[in-house]
Amino acid sequence: MSTAVTSEPVLTAQHLSLAFGGLKAVADFSLTLRAGALAGLIGPNGAGKTTIFNLLTGVYQPDQGEIFLGKQRLNGLKPSARAKAGMARTFQNIRLFGELSVLDNVRTACGVRAKSGLVGALLRTPGWRAEERAITERSMDLLQTLGIAGRAHEQAKSLPYGDQRRLEIARALATEPKVLLLDEPVAGMNTQEKHAMRSMIQQIRVDFEVAVLLIEHDMGLVMEICDHITVLDHGTTIAAGVAADIQNDPAVIEAYLGAPDDAASEGADGVA
Amino acid sequence: MTIFLQTFVNALALGSLYGLIALGYTLVYGVLRFINFAHSDIFMIGAWISFTFTGWLGWSTGAPAYALPVILVLAMGFCALLAVAIEQIAYKPLRKAPRLNVLITAIGVSLFLQNTGVLKQVFGTQPQRMPSLVNDHVMFTLAGVGVQFVDVLVVLLAGALMLLLQWMVFRTRLGRAMRAVSFDERTASLMGINVNQVISITFGIGSALAAAAGLLYALKYGSLKQSADATWVLLGLKAFVAAVIGGIGNVRGAVAGGVLIGFLEMYGAAYLSPHLKDVYVFVVLIGVLLVKPSGLFGKAVVEKV
Amino acid sequence: MKTLAERTAAQRPNVALTALLSLAPLAVGVIAAFLLQAVLAPAVGPFYAKLVLDVGIAILLSVSLNIVNGFAGQFSLGHGGFMLVGGYTAAYLTYYGSIALWGTAEIHGGFMEGGDIFFMVACVVGGIVAALAGLLVGLPSLRLRGDYLAIVTLGFGEIMRVVIQRTGDVLPVAEAKQKGMLGSLTNVGGSLGFTDVPQYVSPTPWLEKTGHAGIFFTYIFVAICVVVAFRLKASSNGRALLAVRENEVAAEAMGVVTARAKVTAFVMAAFFAGIAGGLFGHQSTLSPSELGFQKSIDIVIMVVLGGMGSISGAVLAAIVLTLLPEALRNFSQYRMIIYALSLIAIMIARPQGLFGTKEIWETTWWRRLFGRRTKAEAP
Ligand SMILES: Nc1ncnc2c1ncn2[C@@H]1O[C@H](COP(=O)(O)OP(=O)(O)O)[C@@H](O)[C@H]1O
Ligand SMILES: [Mg+2]
């Protein structure tokens, strides 16, 4: 895996800044994610992690800075265009299509790569039918991978919490991304589930040849699986490097590890 | 010049009425986040009930000096109580339901009020003429334009009620509670505010203002169309447009929007074409919303993701 | 994991079977329309035939509005306005067009001959013009949401209504001939309504009088609309609309171009509303006051009652709400009050509408009654 990490950069963020009114949510944030990398983004609640995801995916436009996916400049593009370009994400506060079935959640996301248009769908042309079957087949495979195929026909909103997080990942993968942004994928899970999710993330990275950027409060998990970790506090990057360096960085210990309250709040969803 | 001034007076009077009605839309939108479609019907009932009370009190053919304040208080009180009852019965069970449902319910209430109004036991199907409760006369002449007492009355009374509301919203405990509920209902209730009570009172106040507008409308224009007539809904709709243009949820914006719509309609009618006055209103509405979706005085909200 | 493109390439659907499956529902629709006209209408007589006709137009309206309000979750109150646009376009074409072509504004020819075809084409053109209006109105929907959009669409309808009210009187045949079609563009009747439009949509069976097959025409369009709605719902384009309704931020993040999805919904809905307007306009006198916001509201009520996004719900609600006032006719002065109270009661008792977002056969009670045992229920 170490060979993969030294390959081409797929995602580059340069000097991103964003303020909400007077609050500097993100200041001068830079990051390079290489093909096949698994990087971590950590920091206390309100540090600006989710805001960085929102900047990368185009929910917010940065006040300053640039974002590249491969060689393509993403600034100014809408989230949908970035998804087409190969950027996928999950949401910390789960945002599934609640009334739709689990399968349809994934099929919707598969639609990004669909070629046949509205006319094909209304006439039910052979091309459309072939694609629709392929969409269903691929969606079922994705649900299988995430271990929720058995619930394919249930409503998404009726899933237990952990499965909702899994479905978010399946849905993101359905867009065939180059970069996968996971926002606290194990929040609210018990130790056993976390363990399973950890292997799943590592598996996904290999099977889908996707670079992963992971926001997570669970320090153990991040330290164990990430090749590279960036630590944020109050919007600024206070440390970046491999796990061992981060663990011993005094600034990090001060800002994050030194505050056991933050670590304890990992399970509380919706706080950040 | 004469036309200009005459139009000015008419526009100010009509604009004040729109402003009064718009306040009700804005207040209710503030606390409940929905278009109270039945508000125009409260306005209609305000006009009709004023007519009815006038008849009951035997003032149809000559009224004492205190007739106006008495009718005003009766009409405002009646509509406030009616609105609170409606809120309790029809809207309260839907607090947690999607907003569209509340909207449809409001349409149901609107249909109910209109069609109950036309029953012969209620207001009947015949249009009526509102007796003039005040001695209408030309108060003063300005550059050749005779300013009617009724116009002055409408503007002054509407203005006074608006100031009263303004004071209430920004200077009293009740007003603070209303603003708190409007800002964040959950936090407000955590802070010990009785949200349901605040919502009921807000409904009552908004409807009382609509009733006042109804009475003033009846006095100024004289003729009352039957309660299911489309003119009522259209008047209410334009008042709602006023609230939206001003930035819905914004008390001062509603008044400003009302006056703006009044001027737009009257000057458009006087100088362009009287038949297209509704078109001007809606064209301006669409224009304003496209340029500034939150209305002229409203604040844009960014969704937190 | 294999990509979608690779998997699609591997699929080999049977072309003949696909073509058959593609056409079968439409064929069934045409046959059903024919049977309603040829068998049901004569059997029940003109009074009930008229109801069948009204129900058809109502279905067309509620199923199409369901695409915007139910699928895409955008709140449009402009359906009456689109009806107006389509209706006047179609009526203008058949009235002045018939005069230009055949020298009279009478119904021309027998069943499915010149006049009938001309009328159907006019309805489709009405739909297209309404769809263009839908494009125009859909654009603001990109910036506005919820109630604001409702008001803009409502405003659009009102503008249309007032503009039509300002048009001139319908020209009599001789004058129309002299002025030509373009010359009579603004003579569509004003506030009195567009009178003397050939009444192609009459409930009478055509056996009694040539050219009258309104139920047949109406239900052909109903069939097309319903099939389109179902196919849309079960396709990527339709799922994109549902995703916009469910969570716009997530939809956009999953690559759904929400702006395009919304405009598509508006355009499709407006198209069918325009056709419904065309049918409506050839059934009785088309008048601007009849197609005001009250009409738009009536249609919204159908969609909400049926359940947002439920096509079968929209159909059923259209049937029930068209027949209900008729059923209450004996209580004439109380019927609107009863209607209003039922509306409030239903909203309170069943806020999600009759069927929620599901189709009738997807609901639990249907499955319990008619369903086979599914895996989930098996021990
Ligand atoms: N849309 C918004 N408007 C205003 N403030 C925001 C918005 N989104 C995030 N913030 C603020 O920015 C800061 C960073 O938030 P966030 O990125 O969610 O933190 P976290 O690191 O916990 O994910 C917080 O103080 C938050 O309140
Ligand atoms: Mg966060």
User: Ligand 1, atom 27: nearest CA belongs to which residue?
Assistant: A46
- Strand-pairing partners, residue B140, are B147
Say yes or no for a CB contact (<8 Å) between B90 and C348.
Answer: yes
Q: Tell me the C-alpha to C-alpha distance, in Å, between residue A210 and each of A113, A182, B21, C99.
A: 16, 12, 58, 67
User: Ligand 1, atom 9: nearest CA belongs to which residue?
Assistant: A51
Chain C residue with minimum CA distance to B238: C155
From chain B residues 79-138, the ones with a CB under 8 A of any chain C CB are 90, 93-94, 97-105, 107-112, 114-116, 118-119
Task: State residue C206's pLDDT score.
Answer: 57
C336 neighbourhood in chain B, CB within 8 Å? 111, 114-115, 228
Phi, psi of B178 (to 5 degrees): -60, -45
Q: Is A49 in the pocket of ligand 1 (CB under 6 A)?
A: yes
In this prediction the pTM is: 0.87
Mean pLDDT of A257-264: 49
Say yes or no for a CB contact (<8 Å) between A175 and C15.
Answer: no
**C368 domain residue, yes or no:** no
**Which residues in chain B come in under a pLDDT of 70?**
300-303
Residue A214 has pLDDT above 80, yes or no: yes
- Minimal C-alpha gap between A156 and chain B (Å): 19
In which residue ranges of chain A is CATH 3.40.50.300 found? 1-86+177-272
Specify the ligand 1 atom closest to the Cα of A43: 21
**Contact between residue B256 and residue B297 where contact means Cβ atoms under 8 Å apart:** yes
Instruction: Read off the pLDDT of residues B223-271 as tens digits, 9 standing for 90 and up.
Output: 999 888 888 988 998 999 999 899 888 888 999 999 999 999 999 999 9
Question: For residues C232 and A122, what is the distance between their CA atoms, to the nearest angstrom?
Answer: 6
**Contact between residue B286 and residue B275 where contact means Cβ atoms under 8 Å apart:** no
Say yes or no for a CB contact (<8 Å) between C75 and B303.
Answer: no
User: Ligand 1, atom 25: nearest CA belongs to which residue?
Assistant: A46
Q: Is A230 in the pocket of ligand 1 (CB under 6 A)?
A: no
Question: For residues A265 and A271, what is the distance between their CA atoms, to the nearest angstrom?
Answer: 8
- Minimal C-alpha gap between C138 and chain B (Å): 12
Which among B301, B302, B304, B305 is the best mutation to test ligand 1's pocket, defined by most ligand atoms within 8 Å of the CB?
Answer: B304
DSSP result, C17-63? HHHHHHHHHHHHHHHHHHHIIIIIHHHHHHHHHHHHHHHHHHHHHHH
What is the tally of structural domains in chain C? 1
Question: For residues A81 and B15, what is the distance between their CA atoms, to the nearest angstrom?
Answer: 46
- Please give the single-letter amino acid code of residue B93: P
**Strand A72-73 relative to strand A9-20, pairing:** unpaired
Q: Is A45 in the pocket of ligand 1 (CB under 6 A)?
A: yes
**Contact between residue A111 and residue C250 where contact means Cβ atoms under 8 Å apart:** no
Structure-token match 């369901």, residue found:
C66
For A79, the closest of C13, C240, C253 (CB atoms) is C253
Structure-token match 């058959």, residue found:
C20
Phi, psi of C198 (to 5 degrees): -55, 130
Q: For all residues of chain A together, what is the average pLDDT?
A: 89
Q: Is A51 in the pocket of ligand 1 (CB under 6 A)?
A: yes
Neighbours of ion ligand 2 (CB under 5 A): A 50, 92, 272
Question: Which ligand has the minimum distance to the alpha carbon of residue A269?
Answer: 2
Determine the distance separating the centroid of ligand 1 and the alpha carbon of A271, expressed in angstroms. 11
Which among A16, A17, A18, A23 is the best mutation to test ligand 1's pocket, defined by most ligand atoms within 8 Å of the CB?
Answer: A23
Task: State residue A144's pLDDT score.
Answer: 95
For B289, the closest of C148, C165, C249 (CB atoms) is C148
The two three-digit tokens of residue B233, written as one number: 């809904």
Task: State residue C355's pLDDT score.
Answer: 82
Phi, psi of C282 (to 5 degrees): -100, 15
**C231 domain residue, yes or no:** yes
The two three-digit tokens of residue B6, written as one number: 């005459």
Determine the distance separating the centroid of ligand 2 and the alpha carbon of A165, expressed in angstroms. 15
Question: For residues B261 and B239, what is the distance between their CA atoms, to the nearest angstrom?
Answer: 8
Task: State residue A266's pLDDT score.
Answer: 42
Phi, psi of A232 (to 5 degrees): -110, 150
Domain of residue C233: give its range: 24-291
Instruction: Read off the pLDDT of residues A115-170 as tens digits, 9 standing for 90 and up.
Output: 888 999 999 999 999 999 999 999 999 999 999 999 999 999 999 999 999 999 99
Task: State residue A209's pLDDT score.
Answer: 93
B302 neighbourhood in chain A, CB within 8 Å? 20
Chain A residue with minimum CA distance to C227: A122
Is the C-alpha dihedral spanning B108, B73, B155, B250 positive or negative? Answer: negative
Question: For residues B240 and A54, what is the distance between their CA atoms, to the nearest angstrom?
Answer: 36
| Nearest to C288, CA basis, from C54, C53, C60, C85 | C85
DSSP result, B225-237? --TT-HHHHHHHH
Q: Tell me the C-alpha to C-alpha distance, in Å, between residue C161 and each of A153, A255, B176, C289, C297.
A: 46, 65, 43, 7, 15
Question: For residues A147 and A79, what is the distance between their CA atoms, to the nearest angstrom?
Answer: 28
Say yes or no for a CB contact (<8 Å) between B118 and C333.
Answer: yes
A59 neighbourhood in chain B, CB within 8 Å? 305
| Nearest to A76, CA basis, from A85, A84, A88, A67 | A67
- Structural domain boundaries of chain B? 17-226
**C334 domain residue, yes or no:** no
Provide, for chain A, the percentages of residues in helix, strand and coil under a 3-state DSSP scheme, each rounded to the nearest 5. Answer: 45, 25, 30
Q: Is A225 left (phi over 0), alpha (psi -120 to 50) or beta?
A: alpha
- Minimal C-alpha gap between B98 and chain A (Å): 14
**Contact between residue C81 and residue C277 where contact means Cβ atoms under 8 Å apart:** no
Say yes or no for a CB contact (<8 Å) between A132 and C235.
Answer: yes
Specify the ligand 1 atom closest to the Cα of A215: 23
| Residue C212 burial (10 A CB sphere; 0-12, 13-18, 19+) | buried
Chain C CB within 8 Å of residue B275 CB? yes
Q: Is A164 in the pocket of ligand 1 (CB under 6 A)?
A: no
The two three-digit tokens of residue A12, written as one number: 């580059």
**C91 domain residue, yes or no:** yes
**Contact between residue B40 and residue B217 where contact means Cβ atoms under 8 Å apart:** no
For C166, the closest of B97, B276, B283 (CB atoms) is B276
Chain C residue with minimum CA distance to A98: C246
Question: For residues B72 and B63, what is the distance between their CA atoms, to the nearest angstrom?
Answer: 14
Say yes or no for a CB contact (<8 Å) between A99 and C242.
Answer: yes
User: How many residues belong to chain B?
Assistant: 305
| Residue A163 burial (10 A CB sphere; 0-12, 13-18, 19+) | buried
The two three-digit tokens of residue C217, written as one number: 């025409």
Task: State residue B239's pLDDT score.
Answer: 93
Question: For residues C123 and C125, what is the distance between their CA atoms, to the nearest angstrom?
Answer: 5
Task: State residue C113's pLDDT score.
Answer: 75
Question: For residues C303 and C299, what is the distance between their CA atoms, to the nearest angstrom?
Answer: 6
The two three-digit tokens of residue A214, written as one number: 């992971």
Q: In what order do the strands lie in the sheet with A64-69?
A: A23-34, A9-20, A64-69, A72-73
| Residue C279 burial (10 A CB sphere; 0-12, 13-18, 19+) | buried
From chain B residues 283-302, the ones with a CB under 8 A of any chain A CB are 302
Say yes or no for a CB contact (<8 Å) between C254 and A134.
Answer: no
Question: For residues C133 and C148, what is the distance between their CA atoms, to the nearest angstrom?
Answer: 18
DSSP state of B23: H
C293 neighbourhood in chain B, CB within 8 Å? 233, 237
**Contact between residue B209 and residue B161 where contact means Cβ atoms under 8 Å apart:** yes
Chain A CB within 8 Å of residue C26 CB? no
Is the C-alpha dihedral spanning C354, C355, C359, C364 positive or negative? Answer: negative
Mean pLDDT of A64-72: 95
Task: State residue B300's pLDDT score.
Answer: 66
Give, rounded to a whole angstrom, the gap between the first and last alpha carbons of chain A.
33
Beta-carbon contacts of C255 under 8 Å, excluding residues fewer than 6 positions away, are A80, A83, A84, A109, A111, A112, A175
- Residue A66 banded pLDDT, cuts 50, 70, 90: very high
**Which residues in chain C come in under a pLDDT of 70?**
141, 145, 204-212, 372-379
**C84 domain residue, yes or no:** yes
For B278, the closest of C162, C300, C337 (CB atoms) is C162
Pick the CATH number of A1-86+177-272 from 3.20.20.80, 3.40.50.300, 3.20.20.480, 3.40.50.1100: 3.40.50.300
Subunit partners of chain A (3 or more CB pairs within 8 A): B, C
Q: Tell me the C-alpha to C-alpha distance, in Å, between residue C176 and each of B15, C84, C89, C116, C172.
A: 44, 22, 16, 21, 6
| Residue C376 burial (10 A CB sphere; 0-12, 13-18, 19+) | exposed
Beta-carbon contacts of B259 under 8 Å, excluding residues fewer than 6 positions away, are B11, B12, B15, B16, B18, B19
Subunit partners of chain B (3 or more CB pairs within 8 A): A, C
Residue A263 has pLDDT above 50, yes or no: no
Structure-token match 């007492």, residue found:
B149
* Three-state SS sequence of A61-90: CCCEEEEEECCEECCCCCHHHHHHHCEEEC
Q: Is B301 in the pocket of ligand 1 (CB under 6 A)?
A: no
Measured in whole angstroms, the distance separating CA C126 from the mean position of its chain's CA atoms is 12
